[in-house]
Amino acid sequence: MRAFDHAQTIGLLEAPAEPGAELAPVALPASAVIGMRDCEQDQDQVHTPVLLEAVLAGLDPRVGGRYIDGTAGRGGHAAAILSRSDPSGELLALDADPVAVSMVRRRLAPFGNRATVAQANFRDLLGVARDRGWDGVDGILLDLGLSSPQLATPARGFSFAIEGPLDMRFDPAGPTTAADLVNTLGEEELANLFYTYGEEHRSRRVARAIVEARQRGPVTTTTQLASLTERAIGRHGPTHPATRIFQALRIAVNAELDALAAVLPQAVALLRPGGRLAVIAFHSLEDRLVKKYFQQEMTTCICPGSQPVCTCAHRPTLRAVSRGATMAGDDEVRTNRRARSARLRVAERL
Ligand SMILES: C[S@@+](CC[C@H](N)C(=O)[O-])C[C@H]1O[C@@H](n2cnc3c(N)ncnc32)[C@H](O)[C@@H]1O
């Protein structure tokens, strides 16, 4: 239950008693979890990664530079970074998912020893880079969340539209599945999980329905959970009611926000002066975390606002490369629905 323990440390169990009292709902399109353009059967099919041109403009890969893609996925961004830094730029591509790692190895094979691909969680970024003798890098990319092949593979359990086991682990060797959480957490804990990580205001109703269903036997499949969620809270608008429930479970199973909070300072520690960090977030929980971290690292003082005199001696480590977040234009969204919720933030190491 490691993933859930991490979740507790960031206040999962401290959600307000009345879900809905404080959190403003985010516009979370169904595409954040399901229904992306990308249910390709051929998982090696060359795809255009999200916000590709903006990522390249932000990272500005150069000949001879060293880069890390912490979320290699299908290797689309990674291949583009290697092409831009041709002929001598190097890239370390990481993914927690061994299936993604095999895919990326094939995709990056033409770059020879300029590309290294490894299965690793980006929460261990600093150690993984240093193990390879990399103490400083010129750019780091994190394109958060799940990939299209993961979503489209029933056995991975990410999609409520296709029947599969309730798994949702990026790394299949991870300690906790979504089924573990759904079948062992108490009603209150489930409600708080759905509220905190899914920003689902009807979280209590879904939690109650799950606990009632469990009396008849364990909830084991994606479609079982999707239909009991729909029965519990009904359909309102175009987004499937299970969207936020699945998002919450995926975040908890993979301890996604903890991993993100852990990697940001490691990325800053690894970047050489002038090196850049680019992060693409797909929902407001991630984006808020990145935005706050960047703001903190760009400011000279992090003392509480109530303190009249600065005592923190904080030194900024980052500067903004562009104002605010970059979002996909209409053309990209038309061809790639997933891009609709993407927000890219880029900062440069001072
Ligand atoms: C949106 S996809 C990346 C797509 C990629 N940029 C491309 O061009 O194909 C996100 C990938 O990040 C991986 N991932 C998510 N969290 C991770 C973590 N903490 N450590 C390593 N990989 C992670 C997922 O397994 C998934 O393959």
Amino acid at 274: G
Write down the residue that tokens 């500005």 correspond to: 60
pLDDT-derived band of residue 194, with 50, 70 and 90 as boundaries?
very high
Q: Give yes or no for residue 122 CB within 6 A of ligand 1.
A: yes
CA distances from 264 to 35, 124, 268 (A): 30, 11, 6
Q: What is the distance between the alpha carbons of residues 67 and 52, in angstroms, rounded to a whole number?
A: 15
Q: Give yes or no for residue 149 CB within 6 A of ligand 1.
A: no
pLDDT-derived band of residue 24, with 50, 70 and 90 as boundaries?
very low
Q: Give yes or no for residue 348 CB within 6 A of ligand 1.
A: no
CA distances from 338 to 37, 245, 327 (A): 7, 18, 11
Mean pLDDT of 26-42: 34
What does the pLDDT read at residue 45? 53
Q: Give yes or no for residue 143 CB within 6 A of ligand 1.
A: yes
Domain ranges for the chain: 2-21+175-254, 33-143+257-349
The rounded Å distance from CA 197 to ligand 1 centre is 19
Q: Give yes or no for residue 164 CB within 6 A of ligand 1.
A: no
Measured at the CA of 293, the angle between CA 321 and CA 306, to 5 degrees, comes to 115
Q: What are phi and psi of 146, to 5 degrees?
A: -110, 160
Going by CATH, does the domain composed of 2-21+175-254 fall within 3.60.15.10? no
Q: What are phi and psi of 199, to 5 degrees?
A: 50, 40
Amino acid at 118: A
CATH superfamily of 33-143+257-349: Vaccinia Virus protein VP39 (3.40.50.150)
Among 50-54, 296-300, 309-313, 330-334, the minimum mean pLDDT is found in 309-313
Q: For ligand 1, pick from 33, 170, 171, 283 the residue to mutate: most ligand atoms within 8 Å of CB.
A: 170
Mean pLDDT of 201-210: 98
Decide if 251 contacts 35 (C-beta within 8 A).
no
What percent of the chain clears pLDDT 90, i.e. is strictly above it?
80
What is the distance, to the nearest Å, from the Cα of residue 17 to the centroid of all Cα atoms in its chain? 27
Q: pLDDT of 302-325, one tens digit each?
A: 999 889 999 998 899 999 998 899
pLDDT-derived band of residue 32, with 50, 70 and 90 as boundaries?
very low
